[in-house]
Amino acid sequence: MKQRIRIYGDEVLRKTASDVKNIDRNIAKLIKNMRDTMKSAGGIGLAATQVGVLANVFLALDKDRDRIITAINPRLEDINGKEIDVEGCLSFPEIYIYIERASKVVLKALDEQSKEFIIEAKGLLARCIQHEIDHLHGRLIIDYASDAEKEFWKEKLDQLQKK
């Protein structure tokens, strides 16, 4: 079932998610609904906070392996390198910000079967993982924007906050 993606200005986007204690039917349903929502929105990642749920869960599209990674209670174990690229966000429709992020990350998390996994990601997947973990900590792409970018997007940001 598709869920409503929360847009910039919604206070839930600034909240910190809590670790999932028990991967039960409710979490399984949340993940299924997040998958449907992400696919229907054409996104490459989605954090639970973006659908109004304060659970440490995110999804990320791994295009190289043609799969969606489900990460529960994610932690970055290692980060390396730096690269600047433009990012969009389903919670910031039609807004794009240049952000410096690590070019490689090592992610440790639980999957839907409560099994721990570790993956090394680079490029777009590494960027997506960092972006979604930011969401789980209440950090948004606008927090990385330069003053010039904030000014450039001011009108659109103001419109989003009024919705």
Predicted confidence (pLDDT) per residue in 87-142, tens digit: 999 999 999 999 999 999 999 999 999 999 999 999 999 999 999 999 999 999 99
55 exposure class (CB count in 10 Å sphere: 0-12, 13-18, 19+): buried
pLDDT in tens, 57-78: 999 999 989 999 999 999 999 9
Question: Tell me: the pLDDT tens digits for 12-65?
Answer: 999 999 999 999 999 999 999 999 999 999 999 999 999 999 999 999 999 989
- φ/ψ (deg, to 5) at 32: -60, -45
Compute the Cα dihedral for 85, 65, 19, 92 and give only its sign. positive
Q: Which residues pair with 89 in a beta bridge?
A: 92
CATH classification code of 11-162: 3.90.45.10
Going by pLDDT thresholds of 50, 70 and 90, the confidence category of residue 1 is confident
Does 132 qualify as catalytic in the annotation? yes
Task: Give the integer Cα–Cα distance in Å for 163 and 135.
Answer: 20
Six-digit token string for 107:
């992610």
Active-site annotation holder among 100, 120, 132, 149: 132
Mean pLDDT rounded to a whole number for the chain: 96
Element (H, E) at 88: strand 83-89
